Each structure stands twice: as structure tokens, then as C-alpha cells.
Amino acid sequence: MLNRNRLVSGGSINRNKIINFKFNGQELQGFEGDTLASALLANDIHLIGRSFKYHRPRGILTAGSEEPNALVQLETGSKTEPNARATEIELYEGLIATSQNCWPSVKYDIGALNNLFSRILPAGFYYKTFMWPPSMWLFYEHFIRKAAGLGEAPKKKNPDRYEQKFFYCDVMIIGGGVNGLVAALAAARSGAKVLIVDEKKDIGGYLLNTKAKINTLYAQVWIKETLNELHALKNVTILNRTTATGYYDYNYITALQKVTNHEINPNKKLPRERFWRIRSKEVILAQGAFERPLVFSGNDKPGIMMASAAQVYMSQYGVLPGNSITLFTNNDHAYSVALEANLKGAKVIIIDIRHSVSDTINKLCEENKIETYFSHAITSTYGSKKVNAISVQELSSDKQSFVGEAVTIGTDLLLMSGGWNPAVQLFSQSRGKLRYSDEISSFVPDVLIDHQYVVGCNNGEFNLRQSLLNSFQAGISAAHQTGHKIEVNQFIDDAVEPYGFTISDVVPYVLGSKPVTHGSKHFIDFQNDVTAADIFLAQREGYVSVEHTKRYTTTGMATDQGKTSNVNALAIMSHIQNKPVGEVGHTTFRPPYVPQTFGAIAGRNVDQYFDPERRTAIHQWHIDNGAVFEDVGQWKRPHFYPKNKESMNEAVNRECIAARKSVGILDASTLGKIDIQGPDAAKFLNLIYTNAWSKLEIGACRYGLMCNEHGMVFDDGVTTRISENHYHMTTTTGGAARVMSWLEEFLQTEWLDMKVYCTSVTEQWTVLSICGPKSRDLLSSLTEENITNESLPYMRMKKAKICGIDARIFRISFTGELSFEINIPSRYGRYVWDKVIDAGKKFNITPYGTETMHVLRAEKGFIIVGQDTDGSATPSDLNMDWIVSKKKEDFLGKRSFARSDTVRENRKHLVGLLINDKKTVIPEGSHIVDKAHKKPPMKMSGHITSSYHSPTLGYPIAMAMLKNGKNRSGDTVLIPLMNGKLIEATVTDNVFYDKEGFRQND
Amino acid sequence: MFVIRCPYCGERDQTEFTCHGEAHIARPKNPNEVSDKKWGEYLFFRTNPKGYHYERWTHDHGCRRWFNVKRHTVTDKIVQTYKMGESKPEDNSA
């Protein structure tokens, strides 16, 4: 196997297990334990993709989740994932990855022409260029969208399974570096229930890669021993490959666990990813810090990498990404990387912006023959697809200009280190407040929220020993806060890093051979191609607020959310505005911390589990009899029952005629039903409904209208007095829950002294509505109870045995026909339904669905709340003054009937419409105008709320809300249709059939 | 996402609850006698404080009881929950 850059030994990879994978079609090999990035670097592949805007060649910048450049399209077909970070993809056999944002290939990309024209593509280019004319935007957008964008979203349904898990603990530690582990061990030994999450496969953080020592042990050994102890403790949960993505109120944290992403043949019982929803009493943030790039001309080429990343590739993966290395730095810490690379056999040259370094470091460099350039800066880089040389020049003492001649140095790997930025994203999401620390030239946590700790580099503490002692204390206090106080001995004696962290000023940008202000290539945000020049431009054009600069230049707005770029952008703004970085401020950090899959957020709540489905006791019969279903709220209701390939219209015609001529049956079980009991029930109903309830006799039913306090109708239904203090209320199917809450609201918050109890009984009763002239004959054959018109008149209820089952028979009608609504305890619902269907055969009983129900009620002019009303109609607007009590002192909504808005002229009123051509069924929602023009706009005077062909009458009917409709009977109105036709209709009463109600009263 | 202490059930996750806006807005005893202005205030006007807000919540996916919450609108800290009918706790913020 050929891994040109693989060292002969070292790293935590398994050299006995070769892994084959493909990148851009090329067959390559790596070892078990590699990431895609480390394997590519081992194969000396640096060119990974093209940048977003200028299509510049880009390589691998980091070794972690902050990676802005090395994004790939992972896998193909339905499993493909765009924008996957090569630095985080664990290598597995057969992995397929391709470069993004390039065509025809990453090496020869036509879009790279943008790079040549970059002088005319500055920040805000699209806003300025494609603004006018506004109507052209859609046209421009098509091309802009094509040119921009990163990977491609999968076009097929993802076959993977995702899960969610809820978790509760005492102390959650985010980040499994040494500080996190110390805090975890302290809390765990104290007895607290502890959760540790870390985004890497191997827990331990950056010290896994260094020669740091803790208590005389190398950090790697100490980490291993500590993890062994933690794993053995029952009160500790350790999750690797798990990234905390969101930090919400009250220590609610979401975390994404990659369960089988990295496996070739995963256990089918395991999900691909698991989304954790964690509530922890105390949270310790120990996420560490990101190394900050330096901003210099041409700093974005493949082969330019963070120094710390090179450290990780060398020590963890045994990969030396270059042999002739240059290191550009402003701090001591990066020298450890140079020495390490030197030790592994690379030739190293250091360019340091500072004037000098300590004698110790000087001596080390001399001993190891490392060439150093102090007070020098890189002025440009060379190489088209990978860096191959740099030029350096000496800086003047004030660093504002160059002195001396530029020197060109050949190199195949340029490392940079500009200091460290604490990973404060999650802390900031939690509403913790940041301050700018001059000491480390970055933002650090300042004001913490309750029950929260921030430790280690995450808190801007870079002294290893001191930070470990603080982490120990944090672990102990967090455990104490949750009541776990087993005494724990302090277990950190000593801790040292060979090259301690030294502080250096943040360098906003490094002077280049061209002025930085215009068109230079000092990149800040690698993923969104934002340069220092763009920041200058934004300031010149007045976008000086940090939020404006962000949006105008798009810095920090890519999928990496500016993890490597934000502080540098702020430093440049501070430099231009000549005020401290702390005063420039920072933008808001929002979840997710890293991109997360929608699959994980949705979990198992997909397809049929997306929303609960409610089915009646008769559901299977409906299926067996060919019903076409309709969703009403969460209910599945039969819409119509087509026979012999009937169309919907044909089926509805047949069902309507049957219900009017013989007998029809409807499953009305979904109707909302509320059982109301208590001595104050009548008084309560008087306040809830607009009409009077006190005198309703036992066994009598009454229709009622409910209004909200604005005086607008919000539900209707029939309520029946079952006994002295017992009522049975019905509501609309969709409004049942709303009405129940409404009743409870007033009982619990306004009328606390009322003795009334409301219970939802919707599911407890199956309701069979049988209607039509033959319905009494049918029902008589199933019960011994006397149900003649005298014994059970219209709007009465009787308890009776039907087919031997205790039932309630309500003589109410929503169709205008003689009708019985039979309520059966649901467990017997299907039994009785079957008996009724059997007995009904001789009457040609016809099941009908909601569409027929709607047509039948419209013929009678009955409204459907929510269809004919929209929350802005009073009872009077609906011609229902008859149901509003004039005598009652008070009821909900009454006072608002006297509001200026409800008494004004020209409100919309409910009317009936007859279509003049006697054949057009107007689409519901159509607008009514008095005067028609060829084209909109036209002055609207109303809209159609219900519209059907009436099989009973043989012509179309409609209901509408029409301005001043009450006084417009006989007028002709116009309805312009979408197809350009103009329909004429005549305003009439909204009751079209059997106005006197002979049929229902029969 | 908050943790809310239901006065009847104890601490539960916010997903079990619904907020119903400002509390302590009593329905006028005799609506017919109040002026349009007063009725309008009852219907439409609500405070929008930077500080403690008193609001009504229901424990929908629990006991289904209504209760009141005293919450700080800047920090979202819920400092007290109390039953309907209990008096409004003082606003001791500066």
C-alpha cells in the first residue's frame, strides 16, 4: 500500500487493517482508525474541493468539527450526505466521497473563472447587481443558485433510521478533554449521576497528541486510566462520537450521537444517529478552544493548515502532511508542532511575527537546526492547486510597513497559528455573557447562567495545572449542588505542558504585497470566501454594526458558523473603527453548534408516526366498503363511498338522493362530546351559549352557539339535558378540544365557585346518524321502545335498548330529514352498526360520507363553523339573531355585540346564492364583486364559503359572506373565476330546501 | 425550554404546558355596565414588561389545571408558580 506521507510508526491507527475507499473515483487506502482527512493526507492528497464563491482550490485546514474547507459529498444515491467534513468522517471499507462545488472536476473547474473576476465580485455584489428590475429577480436567482451552494441534497428518501433519547442527570460534562475528565471524575466520585459527551471517537481531547504530563504520567496514559475508572462507575455515562448541538433554557441540551455512521454493515437494530435530549441539573462546559488562523495574502490554498491540526495528524494518525514545512506564528505554542515535525524528519522553517522568543526556545531551535525568521511576515503564497512557495519580508518595528527585500522560500506545507479562541458557542447559546480578554485576544465567558461552569481552555485558562485544579473544584461543586457530597480527595498533584501557552497580540491581518483594503486575498471566512478587503468595504459602505457586517459580507454565516473566522473579522473591524474588539461586540451564536441531520431531529416521528391518527369504532367497515377517507383534524372520516368506479360527484349524488328518499347512514362518532355535570351546570351553559338554557326540560335537546369575548362565533352544537344536573354537549369535530379548553378556562380561572365538571366523552360514544323518510321504520325494527313522533318528537332524547345494547337516541337532524342520532358505548359500536346495516338492506340503506353530509346541510342552509365562518362573524352576521337571548344579563361575547365594530353598517352577512346559469359550481373561496374589470384589482364585496351541486334541487347552490348581504336579497352579484369567466348569481335566503322544516319534524 | 413547577404535579418539562398570556385580568363583573373603553382594555390591552411577567399556563399533558406563573422576561427565570385564586406575588424587582 502506498501512503506517501505515512510515518513508519506512531499514531492510534490499526496498521494491520487496511481500509479501501474512493475519492473522486480514485481507489485509495488508509488504515482502520483514520479519518477521511488523515487518509487523504497520507496519500498526499491536499486538494479536496472548491470554494463557495470564487471556486478557489481548497484543502484541509483543521482536524476537527470547525473545518471550513474540506467538505465532501459522502456516499451516493439515497444515502448521500452533502457538506460532510472530511476531518470528522471515520474511514470505513468502501467509503465513497467526492469533491463538491466544482465542474467538470475539482482539478479543472469552470467556476474558477469567478476567481479571475473577483475584483468585480466583492461583498454585496449580488445585492447591488441583481436588484433591478425587481421582476427579474426570479430569473437571476435561477442562475445564482446554480453557481452558489455546496453539496447536493439527496433526491431520494433516506432509508436510515434515527432515534431520539431523553436523558436526565445531575452533572453533564460537554467535552472529554483532560479538564472535562477531571471534572467528571470529581463529580462521579462525589456520587452524582454524570454524563460526559465528546465529539471524537477517542475521548481525551488535544492532550492525546502532546507530551504533556499529569501526575508524573504522560497525558495519554492518565487519560486511559481515568477513562477506565469512569467506565467502571455505574453512575457515569460516557458518550463518544456525540456532539452537543444546542444549549437551551434551564440546562436543556441536545446532542447528536453518531451511532453507526462509520460502520460498513451496521447492526440493523441500531439507528444511524441518535438525538439526545438531555436535562442536566448542573452543566460543565469543557469544550476547549479552536486555533485561530492568521490573515495573510493567499492564506487559503491547499497545503496551508493550522499548526495544531498538523500536530494531530502526526501524533494520532502517523501522517506527516509535508516534508518541507514552514510555520507562520505569533505565539510559542506552535513551536511544539515545529519541533515535533522536525523530529519526525521534516525540514522546518519558522516565520514569527514577533521580535524575539525566549532563550529556551531559541536554544531548542538551534539544537534542532530549525531556521527562524523573526519580525517577518508572509507576503504572498505561490502554487495553483497546492502551495509550493511563499515569500517573506521583514516588518518594520511598528509592523506597519516592510523593510528589506522579500525572500522566496520553497515549501510543501505551510502551518499557521494565530493563538486560540475558546469554543464559546454553546455557552453563548445558553445566554451566558462574553467579554473580550486582552490577555488571550479572544472572547471568554464572563457572566454565567445558573447551574453552569466553564473550565479549561473553554474558559480561556491555558495554564494546565491551574485549569485542572479549577476543573476539579467545578466537578465537586456541581455534585454538591445536586446533593452528592461523598468526600473526594484532590487528585491533581502536578501537570505540565512542555511548551506552555504564551500570549500574543491578535494580529488583525498581515500586510501583503498588495494593499489589503482592495481586492487582496487575505481570507477570513474560508467557507464563504470572505476576505479582509470585504470587511473594509462593508465599513466604507456604512455596515459598521457587527450584525450588519456579518450579513453584508456573509462572514460567519456558512455551515461552520465562523468557528475559525469570527474573531479575526472582529479584530479587523476593531482595527478599522479604531476601538477595542470588546466594543465592536460579537454576533449571536445560535444552534446547532455543528450541522445536524433532519433525520435525527425527526427521529421516529415520520410517515404514519408523524401525527397521531384517530379512527372510529367503525373504521374497518369503512375500509371494507371502499370508503375514500378525508382528514378532519386528526380523524380519518369517510369522505364518500364510490361504487363501481363512480366519480366523487356521482357517488355524492347517489348518497344524497338515498338520504332524502329512503335512508342513509353516517358514522358521526367524531363529533365532539362533552359530559357536563354539577348543580351549576345550567347556570354555566347560560354563560357559555348565547341562548337560554335554564328552562330546558329533561330529555330535551337544544342547538347552541358559542361566541368568544369578541362576540365572534367559535363553535356550535346540540346540548341535551340528560337529568336535573347532567348535560350532554356536542361540538364540531375539529373544535372539540378547543371547546373543552374554553369551558375549563372559565371554570378554572373566572368562575371558581361554580360546581360544574366537564369530561370529554368523544371516544366513549359511537354515533350512528340514520336519516331519511324510512329511518323510523328501520329503527323500529331494532328497538322495542316507542319512537313515534308523539313519543320521541324532534329535538328530544330517549334512552333505549337497541339490539339489546343501552343507547341514547337523539332526534336531531343536520340534514333536514327525519333523523336519529344513536349513541352507543363505543365497544358495542361496530356490533350495532352491523345490525343496522343488515336491517337496513330492505330499505336500501346507503352509507354516506362527509361530502354528502355537507351537501345535505347546505341545502338546508345550516352553517359549518370554520367553513362558513372565519372567526370574524357574529351571530347577527349569520342571520342567527334568533338564537341570541335578549333577556339574559350576561353571556360570553354579549358585551361585544355593542362594540362599534360589531354594530357598524356594511359588515359581511351570510347569504344564499343561486347561480344564474343553473349549472356552474363556483369554487369555494371565490371572490364576489359588484363591478367586474378585465383584470384585478377589483373591489371585493364578499366571498363564497360553501358551494355544491344540489342533487335534490338539480342545480348549484352556494353560501357566501357578502357585504350588507341582509339587505341585498334579489341583487345580482358577479363572481370572476380564475379561468377568466365571469359568473352571475342572485342573492337569496340561505335555506334552499324545505324552509318550513316539515321533513325533520315529521 | 423551561422546567415548570406545576402547583399540582411538581416539576415537569415545558412541552407538557401551554402559555395563555397575561394573568390577573379579571372579567368585568357586569360587562353591560362597563364603558367601551374599559371593555376594550379587557379584551385587547396587555402589558409587555421588561421584568417580571405574570402569566397563565395550563398543564395540558398532565393534570389539565390552570395556574399562574411569575416569569422574568429577560432571563426567562420562573421564580414562582401559584394556583388560581391565590393572590398575585409582589414584583420585587428594582
pLDDT digits 0-9 by tens, A377-387: 999 999 989 99
Is A507 within 8 Å of A574 (Cβ atoms)? no
Cα–Cα distances in angstroms (integers) from residue A159 to residues A84, A597, A762, in the given order: 18, 13, 38
Q: What is the CB-side half-sphere exposure of residue A263 using CA atoms within 13 A?
A: 13
pLDDT band at A516 (very low <50, low <70, confident <90, very high): confident
Q: Which of A339, A352, A511, A340 is nearest to A417 (CA)?
A: A352
Give yes or no for A447 touching B (CB within 8 A). Answer: no
Closest Cα in chain A to B56: A749
Whether the per-residue pLDDT at A518 is higher than 80: the answer is no
Whether the per-residue pLDDT at A396 is higher than 60: the answer is yes
Whether the per-residue pLDDT at A545 is higher than 90: the answer is yes
The runs of H, that is alpha helices, within A191-279 are 219-232
Q: Spell out, as residue ranges, where chain B has pLDDT lower than 50.
A: none
Grid cell in block for residue A968: 341585498
Query: Exposed, middle or buried, A54 (CB in 10 Å: 0-12/13-18/19+)?
Result: buried
Of B1, B30, B40, the CB nearest to A249: B1
**Listed ranges A220-229, A929-938, A991-1000; the one with the highest mean pLDDT:** A220-229
Helix (H, G, I), strand (E, B) or coil at A185: helix
pLDDT band at A956 (very low <50, low <70, confident <90, very high): very high
Q: What is the mean pLDDT of chain A?
A: 93
pLDDT tens across A742-758, in order? 999 999 999 999 999 99
Cα–Cα distances in angstroms (integers) from residue A469 to residues A170, A218, A462, A494, A909, in the given order: 21, 18, 12, 9, 76
Q: Tell me how many residue pairs between chain A and chain B have CB atoms under 8 A apart.
A: 51
Whether the per-residue pLDDT at A358 is higher than 60: the answer is yes
- pLDDT attached to residue A517: 74
> What are the backbone dihedrals phi and psi of residue A56, each rounded to the nearest 5 degrees, phi first?
-80, 145
- For helices A850-859 and A648-661, give the axis angle rounded to 10 degrees: 60
Query: Exposed, middle or buried, A624 (CB in 10 Å: 0-12/13-18/19+)?
Result: exposed
pLDDT band at A116 (very low <50, low <70, confident <90, very high): low
- Listed in sequence order, the residues at least 6 apart from A762 whose beta carbon sits closer than 8 Å to its beta carbon are A669, A670, A671, A672, A673, A674, A736
Is A826 within 8 Å of A765 (Cβ atoms)? yes
Query: Is A450–B39 a contact, with Cβ atoms under 8 angstroms apart?
Result: no
Helix (H, G, I), strand (E, B) or coil at A559: coil
Closest Cα in chain A to B20: A745
All domains in chain B, ordered by first residue? 3-83 (3.30.2270.10)
pLDDT tens across A117-156, in order? 666 666 666 666 655 566 665 666 555 555 555 788 888 9
Grid cell in block for residue A171: 452533572
- pLDDT attached to residue A135: 64
- pLDDT attached to residue A934: 87
- pLDDT attached to residue A121: 66
pLDDT band at A511 (very low <50, low <70, confident <90, very high): confident
Q: Which of A734, A555, A421, A452 is nearest to A123 (CA)?
A: A555
Q: To which residue does cell 351549576 refer?
A: A680
Whether the per-residue pLDDT at A196 is higher than 70: the answer is yes
Give yes or no for B86 touching A (CB within 8 A). Answer: no
pLDDT tens across A72-92, in order? 999 998 889 999 999 999 999
Helix (H, G, I), strand (E, B) or coil at A470: helix
Rg of chain A on CA atoms, in Å: 38
Grid cell in block for residue A60: 484541509
pLDDT band at A501 (very low <50, low <70, confident <90, very high): low
- For helices A736-749 and A681-688, give the axis angle rounded to 10 degrees: 110
Grid cell in block for residue A650: 356521482
Q: Which of A864, A991, A983, A966 is nearest to A928 (CA)?
A: A983
Give yes or no for A827 touching B (CB within 8 A). Answer: no
Cα–Cα distances in angstroms (integers) from residue A447 to residues A244, A567, A863, A983, in the given order: 21, 19, 58, 68
- pLDDT attached to residue A451: 97
CA A506 distance to own-chain centroid? 36
B42 CB neighbours in chain A (<8 A) are 709
Query: Is A252–B1 a contact, with Cβ atoms under 8 angstroms apart?
Result: yes
B positions 53-72 inside 8 Å of A (CB): 56, 58, 64-66
Q: Which residues pair with A443 in a beta bridge?
A: A436
Query: Is B2–A895 a contact, with Cβ atoms under 8 angstroms apart?
Result: no
- Tell me the torsion sign for CA atoms A813, A814, A819, A821: negative
All domains in chain A, ordered by first residue? 14-118 (3.10.20.440), 162-289+422-496 (3.50.50.60), 293-418 (3.50.50.60), 506-579 (1.10.10)
Sheet holding A389-395, edge to edge: A376-382, A389-395, A402-410
pLDDT tens across A828-850, in order? 999 999 999 999 999 999 999 99
Question: Integer distance in angstroms from the first to the last C-alpha of chain A?
Answer: 94
- Listed in sequence order, the residues at least 6 apart from A555 whose beta carbon sits closer than 8 Å to its beta carbon are A524, A525, A528, A530, A534, A535, A549, A562, A565, A566, A569
A positions 710-749 inside 8 Å of B (CB): 710, 741, 744-745, 748-749
Give yes or no for A450 touching B (CB within 8 A). Answer: yes
Measured between CA atoms, how close is B50 to chain A, in angstroms? 16
Query: Is B84–A749 a contact, with Cβ atoms under 8 angstroms apart?
Result: yes
DSSP A327-379: EEESSSHHHHHHHHHHHTT-EEEEEESSS---HHHHHHHHHTT-EEEETEEEE
- Residue A593 to residue A596: CA distance in whole angstroms: 9
Grid cell in block for residue A310: 498538523
- pLDDT attached to residue A670: 97
pLDDT band at A390 (very low <50, low <70, confident <90, very high): very high
- Residue A447 to residue A432: CA distance in whole angstroms: 6
Give yes or no for B82 touching A (CB within 8 A). Answer: no
Buried b (16+ CB within 10 A) or exposed e, A638-661: bbbbbeeebeeeebbbbbbbbbbe
- pLDDT attached to residue A145: 54
Q: Quote the ipTM score.
A: 0.96
Cα–Cα distances in angstroms (integers) from residue A53 to residues A27, A93, A553, in the given order: 29, 33, 12
- Residue A694 to residue A682: CA distance in whole angstroms: 6
- pLDDT attached to residue A32: 96
Whether the per-residue pLDDT at A352 is higher than 60: the answer is yes
Grid cell in block for residue A749: 380561572
Give yes or no for A249 touching B (CB within 8 A). Answer: yes
Query: Exposed, middle or buried, A16 (CB in 10 Å: 0-12/13-18/19+)?
Result: exposed
Helix (H, G, I), strand (E, B) or coil at A891: coil
Among B11, B19, B29, B43, the residue to mutate for chain A (most A Cβ within 10 A): B43
Residue type, A530: V
- pLDDT attached to residue A502: 65
- pLDDT attached to residue A505: 60
Is B8 within 8 Å of B67 (Cβ atoms)? yes
Question: Is-cis flag, bond preceding A104, omega within 30?
Answer: yes
Q: Which of A477, A484, A489 is nearest to A193 (CA)?
A: A484
Measured between CA atoms, how close is A749 to chain B, in angstroms? 6
Share of chain A above pLDDT 70, in %: 95
Among A250, A740, A758, A889, the residue to mutate for chain B (most B Cβ within 10 A): A250
Q: Which of A765, A825, A824, A818 is nearest to A792 (CA)?
A: A818
Mean pLDDT of A719-727: 97
Give yes or no for B88 touching A (CB within 8 A). Answer: no
- pLDDT attached to residue A504: 61
DSSP B48-81: --SSEEEEEEE-TTTT--EEEEEEETTT--EEEE
Mean pLDDT of A227-232: 98
A450 CB neighbours in chain B (<8 A) are 77
- Tell me the torsion sign for CA atoms A828, A834, A838, A844: positive
pLDDT band at A897 (very low <50, low <70, confident <90, very high): very high
Grid cell in block for residue B43: 379584551
- Residue A688 to residue A996: CA distance in whole angstroms: 29
Whether the per-residue pLDDT at A338 is higher than 70: the answer is yes
Closest Cα in chain B to A280: B3
Helix (H, G, I), strand (E, B) or coil at A619: helix
